[in-house]
Structure 1
Amino acid sequence: MIFAMARIGATLVSAPIFSALGVPLQVRVILAGAVGVLVLGLYPLEVPADPLSLQGFATIAQEALIGLSVGFILQVAFAAPLLAGEYLSNSIGLGFANMVDPHSGGHSAVVGQFLMILMTLLFLAVNGHLVLVELIVKSYETMPLGGGWLTRDHMWDIVTFGAYVFAGGLAIALPVGFALFGLNLLVGVLTRAAPQLNIFAVGLPLTLMTGFVVLAIAFPAMSQLMQSAAATGLDQARSFIGG
């Protein structure tokens, strides 16, 4: 049972939503045990004869590495809206307004937190958590227990997918970022045309107001992009395990 729970538990520890600080450890253990029982009923697992031997520890380490890799791939996809929120916060003028991240316990910009909450709700709305459980269960068919360590190609796929943080974050922030860029150009022209205007007294409130308005208008497009980011993360995880 421990060998069936190792990969599942590692995935729950590193995957979004399940790895949040608000999810108790007992809940993760119960979920890992429940899914492990399902795996034992579907796939015959060839476990080492002595779990405390070197082979047993190596098998557990291998299973944990696979689970951590799958969860990390999804974390990369979830980092895209957080990066977009950091950029938008600094552009709007809310870079100084930080709050505690309920997922990691760190601090991040308020816009980034809002986009992360929206990303989480979209992920749950499309049953992404159920798809993740299905992927990790089917991974025992394509990557059986003790079937071999992760290859160089697996590691390279994870490294190359890291670029999606910047590509996805740029795509999510582009609608609002382009509007704020045009506004900054306009404020610059007004400052040159009328030097007596105080750029801080005029530019900051105008940027803040325009940023919120454009952000509200761009919500449908940004939601579609975040839903696409979640789907991309799941597709990359499916490709990683050979599905």
Structure 2
Amino acid sequence: MLGFGLSIEPQLWALLFTMVRVGAAFVAAPVFGAVAVPLPVRITLSGAIGILVLNSQSYAVPTEVFALTTFVSIAAEILVGLTIGFILQIAFAAPLVASELIGTSMGIGFAQAVDPLNGTSSPALGQFLSILLTLLFLSVDGHLILVDLIVRSYQALPPGAAWIAPERLRNIAFFGGYAFLAGLLLALPVGFLLLCLNLVVGMLSRSAPAMNLFAVGLPASLAVGVVALMIALPAMGDYMLVIVHETIEMTSTLVLGG
């Protein structure tokens, strides 16, 4: 029942209610939440996964649409979906942090471009690392794991009892610092080498004050940074896989409780 004497097909209402959590997760999650993904595609995927959830899980759907309890249940569904997507999105913030550290040391921090995934301006190096992380995320079936997490969330947090405990919300907020830790470790090989180069250039400038620091230091930083990126890229790719796996594991632990 809609309330006010109106009615709706029960199966259609159950599907729409199920799509709330799925759609909220897709809005905040990486890949699916990208600006390049059209809205009809998200709605279609949400409906398809909603049908999967209805056929695999059994839970009670609010009987009336225009009721206070229904609005509260919808708010809880949105909270769970956004939480799942937000934790996964933390992994995709690490390349941006790493690119800021590396780009500033290389002297290309001013190189900004529109990020096709988020629709915002970000460092060019950050776009390259973000695309690499996206490809690695898809290569380990991260999109399928996301769908599995959403489906399992209906069993761990069924509608009507989907409010996340304050302790979990606090742990999720603290987990946001993982983006800075992962970004620092991701930039560590190249950043440490560039730091050593800057120390050498600084000592040369003190020993030879007549030397043009900008004419020597900036080209050297750019050249060393490019070479260091080429050498460290395999190791950075391996650590990106570690970031993806740890974030997926933490999503299951923080939201689903294990």
TM over 0.5: yes
TM-score grouping bracket, smaller chain normalisation = over 0.9
1:100 positional shift: 0.4
1:148 positional shift: 4.0
Is residue 2:257 matched to residue 1:242? yes
Distance 1:148 1:117 in 2: 33
Q: How does 1:25-64 map to 2 (within 5 A)?
A: 25-64=39-78
TM-score (norm. length: structure 1):
0.98
TM-score (norm. length: structure 2):
0.92
Q: Which residue of 2 aligns with 1:178?
A: 192
Q: How does 1:1-243 map to 2 (within 5 A)?
A: 1-239=15-253, 240-243=255-258
- Indicate the larger mover: 19-28 or 48-57: 48-57
Distance 2:170 2:103 in 1: 32
Q: What is the Cα-based RMSD across aligned positions, in Å?
A: 0.9
Equivalent residues of 1:143, 1:242 under 8 A apart: no
Distance 1:125 1:154 in 2: 29
Distance 2:45 2:212 in 1: 58
CA-to-partner distance for each residue in 1:110-138, whole Å, 9 max, x for gaps?
A: 11111111110110111111111011111
1:8 positional shift: 0.6
Moved over 3 A (4+): none
Secondary structure at the counterpart of residue 218 of structure 1: helix
Distance 1:69 1:225 in 2: 24
Distance 1:160 1:80 in 2: 15
Equivalent residues of 1:91, 1:180 under 8 A apart: yes
Structure 2's unaligned 5+ residue stretches are 1-14
Question: Percent identity, aligned pairs only?
Answer: 50
Equivalent residues of 1:5, 1:33 under 8 A apart: yes
Distance 2:19 2:104 in 1: 43
Matched residue count: 243
Distance 1:25 1:241 in 2: 27
1:242 positional shift: 2.1
- Indicate the larger mover: 98-107 or 197-206: 98-107
1:236 positional shift: 1.1
Distance 1:11 1:28 in 2: 10
Computing the radius of gyration from Cα coordinates, the structure with the larger value is: 2
